Structure 1
Amino acid sequence: MRTSYSALETYKLCPRKYQFQELERIKAPKPPAAIFGTLVHKTLQYLFSRDPLFPTLDETISYFRANWPPYEKFPLADSERALYQEAGEQMLRNFYAKNPPWNFSVVDLESHFEVLIEDPRRKDTHVLAGRIDRIDKTEDGFEVIDYKTNRKLPSQAAVDSNLQLAVYSLGLARRWPHVAPEQVTLSLYFLKHGEKLSTRRTAEANEGTRDQILGTIAEIQGGIASAKPFEPVPGAWCATCPYQKQCPAWKHLYRASAAARPDQAAMDAAIREYFDLLKSQRKATARMAELKGEIADYMAREGFDRVFGDEGVLARSVQKRFAYDFERVRAILEPLGKWDAVLAADEKRLKALLADLPAEAREAIAAARLPLREYTVISASLKRVPKPEAVDSPLDAAEA
């Protein structure tokens, strides 16, 4: 399989989006944030590529403005376009002040790499491709820098476990095998905040990254082999996803009007009634909890174990729960040869353990799963979502 970090990250975020994007190859326009980020990256590439006659700050800003996308490619209201442009220029000004280009020894920009990931169990080889924003030569080795235009600043722990940086470490190891992973600093530069967060990897960590990638690829290949659609995972990322019209988690929002489909009117009425009943149920449950507390206090205060009403009886009882001290139990049962009889497999512990297992073990355990039953669960949320008239799919612009 030929893949990339971004494709694997898409799968982990939402398998159904991966299916639309990587398997079905449904074309979709970039969201505004991605277009903005691409231009900022392009401007920084321009800044460092003019060695030794680096552009001034004014020339850098002029380049950014000259390449500002037209409305057709960046279809936002004028006020929103202005905010994006102002934010981009401020990022560039802050970056230039803090990082004069002549202070760095830049080895490469927008550096393409490919890593061969061998799967000895399946006797298969995968190609992992990617592109690094910038590589610098430093006193003790090299530094990989990836620019970020998003607002969120992650914790150091998140940077230390960042898969993208781990993939870059594999890319550098492939490009320069003589350079130890410990000699490569891996950095994320957050342009909005002017902060650079860095980490390093070891050769052992790189092997762990390979196992992690093989595990994800095995999941993808297993999903493809099953011939079943990949499941969507709704979340905050859906707001900028261009595949809402096709996605089973969203396409009902884009359904035909009730006038065009009479059956839809009846179903809309059923959905409304369901939510009305759900609201009533929640109110009743909350009120019942309040009343139960009042009655329990009354019974305890008066010394009643049961109270009687016109509609029935309420009884009060004390229930106790116990937990065994299993070290003491083990000391009792092991001499009798009965300890193994009380040990039970724990699926929750197994799932927690999976992340720390090598890819081969994870794949073997996945193959050991037995289908017990399959059932449909309907869950409800009272969160309001904009009606179809107020929602446009980004694909509409592509189709126009």
Structure 2
Amino acid sequence: MRLLARLLHSHYYLKRSSGVCLSRKAVQGLDPYLHLLMPRTNFLNALYTSLSSEILQTAMRTSYSALQTYTQCPQKYKFQEIDRIPAKKSKEAVFGTYVHSALNFMFKQTPLFPTVEETCGHFRINFPASPNDVFETEAIRKAYFDEGVRILKSFYKKNPPWNFSVLGLETRFEVILEDEKNSATHILAGKIDRIDKLSDGTYEIIDYKTAKRLPSQEAVDSDLQLSLYALGVQKKWPHMSSENLKVSLYFLKHQEKLSSLRTPDSGQRVLRNALETISEISTRTAGNKQFEPMPSALCDYCPYKPLCPAWKHLYRKRATNPTDSAPLPIDDITKEYLALKKEDQKNGKRMDELQAKIKEYMEREGVTRVFGDEGYISRSVQTRHSYRFDKIREILEPIGKWKDILDADEKKLRSLMKELPEETRQKLILYGIETREFIALKVRFGFFFSLEPYFISLFHFLSSWTPRKMVCGSIF
């Protein structure tokens, strides 16, 4: 049965990060080969039922960028990979797509490589000729177009295509992940911008970047995505070992290339990190747990911001015109709560009443933050653990470890947990530790967050007439 699961996993998955969806039609695809084993209907029903636990709930096909999105913000991951809510791409992402396309054109037309004018012409043909929903004004559109032409001319001058032996452009790869804990098989997929064979017989993986910020060499050396690319190439072409393969980030705005080498250990490290993240996602999904938002500076670039529980109350306030409608009841509650907090009043009973109303509103409306004129209130889920030492003794005593925490000391137990076999650790977590979650409210004072949507509107308004050199479209 497990062999059949592997076979189906390889040929009948749907390309979704949230998991593998398998239909009866897919199972029936095996029927010409297997129907002789038992009556057709009984076999298919038994196979479909058995495979539900093997594939439907455990297997996942995903990418490193999707897992990175989860680590940055679980809520954005849910919107993007599970709910599959369409999102408008940022200017930077769309701009990068056009530049990448022109660079592929530049190296693909072998042996008669295009001239620099033809390369820029390819970019010009594909780039929008007039403002659209991404490049909203002519000033913004022209600023990005001129930047693209500048990048391509500089790149061509520094990297004439006939000087390189390009083995692959936008090369796709897959890495199989085996989770020994639950025998699940996952697929980590990706796409590499360029693979070169160098004059000394070694190989180079190149990933183009249109970002402005140049990372440190240390950051490049520890970049997990580059480690995954190296692993993917080695799986596809085993002769490209770590000793003769380097990885590079090419920053197009600055024409700077930062290179690094990878060891076999770096590949295993990225696989471990990926498995841990996949396991966490699977646990949340199976347990129907929340994918909590993680507010940060990245929120200003997130297309899901108006939908996000951490921000949608602010956008709802913005949509309410204070001149022709009464304030929402929660606004008065928030205002009073912030005032009491700011004055550090000890009115515990009233604070408890307001907290209860705020929590009830957050639960009902599906928000994690409410905004007032002087600040905002955040909701967070906090966890507390309590130890059932009667159960812990039953687990540790047979392996001679109970005496190590004979005084039933939680600190000693946490230290001991690091030394125990995985099976024993899991037993302790399952039977010996009780986890309780509770909701906590946190206040932050300041005007920035409550005024931020209005500032964004102001910037968009000004961009329609500000001279091109003053446009800062990238900040949106």
How big is the shift at 1:199? 1.2
How big is the shift at 1:40? 0.7
Distance verdict in 2 for CA 1:374–1:132, change over 3 Å:
same
CA separation in 1, counterparts of 2:117 and 2:71? 41
Q: In the alignment, what sits opposite 1:32?
A: 91
Q: In the alignment, what sits opposite 1:174?
A: 235
Q: In the alignment, what sits opposite 2:70?
A: 11
CA separation in 2, counterparts of 1:388 and 1:277? 26
Q: In the alignment, what sits opposite 1:134?
A: 194
User: Is residue 190 from structure 1 mapped to residue 256 from structure 2 by the alignment?
Assistant: no
CA separation in 1, counterparts of 2:226 and 2:244? 14
Q: In the alignment, what sits opposite 1:300?
A: none
Match of 2:207 among 124, 134, 146: 146
Unaligned runs of 5+ in 1: 282-336, 393-400
Specify the SS of the correspondent of 1:28.
Answer: coil
How big is the shift at 1:89? 1.7
User: Is residue 253 from structure 1 mapped to residue 317 from structure 2 by the alignment?
Assistant: no
Radius of gyration: which is bigger? 1
Deviations 1:275-302 (A, max 9, x none): 5566666xxxxxxxxxxxxxxxxxxxxx
Alignment of 1:161-310 (within 5 A): 161-255=222-316, 256-257=319-320, 264-275=327-338
CA separation in 1, counterparts of 2:144 and 2:413? 48
Unaligned runs of 5+ in 2: 1-59, 345-402, 458-476
User: Is residue 55 from structure 1 mapped to residue 121 from structure 2 by the alignment?
Assistant: no
Alignment of 1:341-380 (within 5 A): 345=411, 370-380=434-444
Distance verdict in 2 for CA 1:390–1:52, change over 3 Å:
same
Match of 1:105 among 162, 165, 168: 165
In structure 2, what residue type is equivalent to 1:212? N
Name the TM-score, length of structure 1 as normaliser: 0.74
Does the CA contact (< 8 Å) of 1:57 and 1:93 recur in 2?
yes
Aligned residues between the structures = 335
CA separation in 2, counterparts of 1:32 and 1:348? 48
Match of 1:79 among 135, 139, 142: 139
How big is the shift at 1:159? 0.7
Match of 2:100 among 41, 53, 57: 41
How big is the shift at 1:362? 10
How big is the shift at 1:375? 2.6
Does the CA contact (< 8 Å) of 1:16 and 1:232 recur in 2?
yes
How big is the shift at 1:56? 1.4
Distance verdict in 2 for CA 1:151–1:348, change over 3 Å:
farther
How big is the shift at 1:349? 9.0
Name the TM-score, length of structure 2 as normaliser: 0.63
- Identify the structure with bigger relative contact order (alpha carbons < 8 Å, sequence gap 6+): 1
Specify the SS of the correspondent of 1:111.
Answer: strand
CA separation in 1, counterparts of 2:92 and 2:126? 16
Specify the SS of the correspondent of 1:179.
Answer: coil
Specify the SS of the correspondent of 1:3.
Answer: strand
Does the CA contact (< 8 Å) of 2:207 and 2:249 recur in 1?
yes
Deviations 1:124-164 (A, max 9, x none): 11111111000001224211000000011111111111111
CA separation in 2, counterparts of 1:363 and 1:35? 46
CA separation in 2, counterparts of 1:259 and 1:237? 30
CA separation in 1, counterparts of 2:263 and 2:131? 46
Q: In the alignment, what sits opposite 2:82?
A: 23
CA separation in 2, counterparts of 1:105 and 1:116? 29
Specify the SS of the correspondent of 1:214.
Answer: helix
In structure 2, what residue type is equivalent to 1:375? I
CA separation in 2, counterparts of 1:347 and 1:95? 58
Q: Which moved more, 1:253-262 or 1:371-380?
A: 253-262
How big is the shift at 1:184? 1.2
Specify the SS of the correspondent of 2:262.
Answer: coil
User: Is residue 117 from structure 1 mapped to residue 177 from structure 2 by the alignment?
Assistant: yes
Distance verdict in 2 for CA 1:360–1:47, change over 3 Å:
farther
In structure 1, what residue type is equivalent to 2:240? V
Does the CA contact (< 8 Å) of 2:166 and 2:196 recur in 1?
yes
Q: In the alignment, what sits opposite 2:154?
A: 94
Q: Which moved more, 1:367-376 or 1:211-220?
A: 367-376
